[in-house]
């Protein structure tokens, strides 16, 4: 049901843009105002969210991450899983961000039976999530880079190279980009696993389905523009360059309405980004189990929310405060009243 709500929401956005830019002729709003506003919301919202997180006190190190911690000299330390210095921690973070090692550790529970038909609970490796998450994220990155051909003039050689590699198979006309297919596979899998697995379906919310369906809709609308509608790319570059150089002009009438749908969906994604789970983009760098070295035995951790006005109060001092009543109650004491006197 939550998946259906999300789907209806995305379809409503598509209809809104189709009617707005198509029937209602509000091309200027959909070409400039909406994406411009969404981009500002994205940048400001993202920054505000990170600053908000930065204000939260840093917790005590969490040393129970995988791998052997630094110990005696003859015990090999697992430096990338349980780092004790800054550079090692940076390496762990880098590998997490670039290769998703946490997802690589994903396991699933299975129930097996031994020869005597006794049930055995086992945890086995489940790499599909890792694989498709990698496909999805890297495809997204390449697609975003490719789009820079519409934002930059002249097009830098680097973007041309990305474009070349992505269309190297030379299939169909216009040439199919591999990442177009891979992002559909990636996002499709991420959606399918939420729908197919009963445990995941139970914990999935509208704000899990909505971004997935939104990104799928963005990918599909983009592919529709390229492979089916065959939109006027030069007219679109004209509009996009107007947006990035702040030299706005009336969008050419030759632009297909699918362009406005695509842009509206992307704008929605940008505006929604800072308020959603998509903030893991910035949040991954602030994960305590990833960015804190295991150096609890080398550095004293001062609890950041401690009140400096409250001084340490030892047990001896406590006993000094309450020695008489404690003695009368028959509690064991370090020093009896006679000894203390």
String of contacts with other proteins for each residue 111-150, x by CB under 8 A: -------------------------------------xxx
Interacting positions 273-312 with other proteins (CB under 8 A): 282, 285-286, 304
Give me the DSSP letters along 194-210: HHH-HHHHHH--HHHHH
Q: Is 57 in the site for other proteins (CB under 8 A)?
A: yes
- If the CB atoms of residues 190 and 266 are measured against other proteins, the closer one turns out to be 266
Of 1, 23, 56, 330, which one interacts with other proteins (CB under 8 A)? 56
| Of 148, 63, 298, 327, residue with least CA distance to 340 | 327
Q: Is 36 in the site for other proteins (CB under 8 A)?
A: no
- If the CB atoms of residues 173 and 307 are measured against other proteins, the closer one turns out to be 173
Backbone angles phi, psi at 332, to 5 degrees: -65, 140
Half-sphere exposure of 50 (CA within 13 A, CB side): 15
Who's near 152: CB < 8 A, 6+ residues apart? 159
String of contacts with other proteins for each residue 234-263, x by CB under 8 A: xx-xx--xx-xx-x-x----x---------
Q: Please say whether the beta carbons of 215 and 184 come within 8 A.
A: no
- If the CB atoms of residues 303 and 314 are measured against other proteins, the closer one turns out to be 303
CA dihedral 281, 284, 286, 290 (to 10 degrees): -160
Backbone angles phi, psi at 136, to 5 degrees: -60, -50
Interacting positions 70-109 with other proteins (CB under 8 A): none
- If the CB atoms of residues 67 and 283 are measured against other proteins, the closer one turns out to be 283
Q: Please say whether the beta carbons of 264 and 30 come within 8 A.
A: yes
Torsion sign across C-alpha atoms 140, 145, 149, 153: positive
Backbone angles phi, psi at 307, to 5 degrees: -85, 115
Who's near 310: CB < 8 A, 6+ residues apart? none
SS3 for 112? strand
- If the CB atoms of residues 184 and 235 are measured against other proteins, the closer one turns out to be 235
User: Shortest distance, CB of residue 132 to other proteins, whole angstroms?
Assistant: 25
Task: Candidates 102-110, 152-160, 197-205, 330-338: pick the segment binding other proteins (CB under 8 A).
Answer: 152-160
- If the CB atoms of residues 57 and 330 are measured against other proteins, the closer one turns out to be 57
User: Shortest distance, CB of residue 58 to other proteins, whole angstroms?
Assistant: 5
Whole-angstrom distance between the N-terminal and C-terminal Cα of the chain? 75
User: Shortest distance, CB of residue 325 to other proteins, whole angstroms?
Assistant: 41
Cα dist from 140 to 161, 255, 285, whole Å: 17, 24, 19
Task: Candidates 157-165, 190-198, 209-217, 323-331: pick the segment binding other proteins (CB under 8 A).
Answer: 157-165
Of 160, 169, 200, 205, which one interacts with other proteins (CB under 8 A)? 160
Of 9, 14, 16, 50, which one interacts with other proteins (CB under 8 A)? 50
Cα dist from 275 to 48, 138, 146, 203, whole Å: 11, 23, 26, 19
d(CA 228, CA 90): 45
Task: Candidates 4-12, 25-33, 162-170, 188-196: pick the segment binding other proteins (CB under 8 A).
Answer: 162-170
User: Shortest distance, CB of residue 115 to other proteins, whole angstroms?
Assistant: 55
Q: Is 46 in the site for other proteins (CB under 8 A)?
A: yes
Q: Is 110 in the site for other proteins (CB under 8 A)?
A: no
Task: Candidates 2-10, 74-82, 228-236, 306-314: pick the segment binding other proteins (CB under 8 A).
Answer: 228-236
d(CA 140, CA 143): 5
SS3 for 172? coil
- Binding residues for other proteins, per CB under 8 A? 42-43, 46-47, 50-51, 54-58, 148-155, 159-160, 163-164, 170, 173-174, 230-235, 237-238, 241-242, 244-245, 247, 249, 254, 282, 285-286, 304
């Amino acid at each position: 049901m939550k998946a259906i709500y999300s789907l209806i929401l995305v379809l409503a956005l598509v209809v809104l843009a189709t009617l707005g830019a198509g029937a209602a002729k509000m091309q200027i709003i959909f070409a400039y105002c909406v994406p411009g506003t969404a981009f500002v919301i994205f940048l400001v919202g993202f920054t505000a969210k990170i600053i908000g997180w930065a204000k939260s006190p840093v917790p005590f190190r969490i040393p129970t991450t995988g791998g052997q911690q630094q110990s005696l000299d003859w015990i090999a330390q697992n430096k990338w899983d349980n780092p004790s210095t800054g550079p090692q921690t940076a390496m762990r973070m880098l590998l997490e961000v670039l290769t998703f090692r946490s997802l690589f550790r994903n396991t699933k529970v299975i129930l097996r039976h031994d020869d005597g038909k006794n049930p055995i609970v086992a945890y086995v490796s489940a790499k599909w999530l890792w694989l498709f998450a990698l496909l999805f994220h890297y495809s997204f990155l390449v697609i975003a880079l490719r789009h820079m051909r519409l934002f930059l003039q002249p097009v830098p050689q680097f973007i041309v190279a990305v474009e070349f590699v992505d269309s190297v198979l030379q299939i169909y006309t216009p040439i199919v980009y591999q990442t177009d297919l891979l992002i559909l596979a990636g996002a499709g899998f991420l959606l399918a696993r939420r729908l197919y697995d009963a445990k995941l379906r139970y914990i999935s919310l509208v704000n899990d389905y909505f971004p997935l369906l939104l990104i799928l809709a963005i990918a599909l609308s983009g592919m529709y523009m390229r492979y089916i509608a065959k939109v006027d790319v030069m007219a679109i570059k004209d509009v996009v360059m107007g947006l990035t150089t702040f030299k706005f002009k009336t969008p050419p009438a030759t632009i297909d309405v699918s362009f406005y749908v695509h842009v509206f969906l992307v704008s929605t994604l940008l505006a929604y980004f800072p308020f959603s789970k998509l903030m893991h983009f910035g949040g991954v760098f602030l994960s305590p189990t990833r960015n804190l070295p295991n150096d609890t035995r080398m550095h004293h951790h001062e609890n950041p929310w401690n009140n400096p006005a409250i001084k340490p109060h030892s047990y001896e001092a406590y006993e000094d405060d309450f020695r008489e009543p404690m003695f009368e109650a028959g509690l064991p004491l370090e020093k009896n009243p006679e000894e203390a006197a």
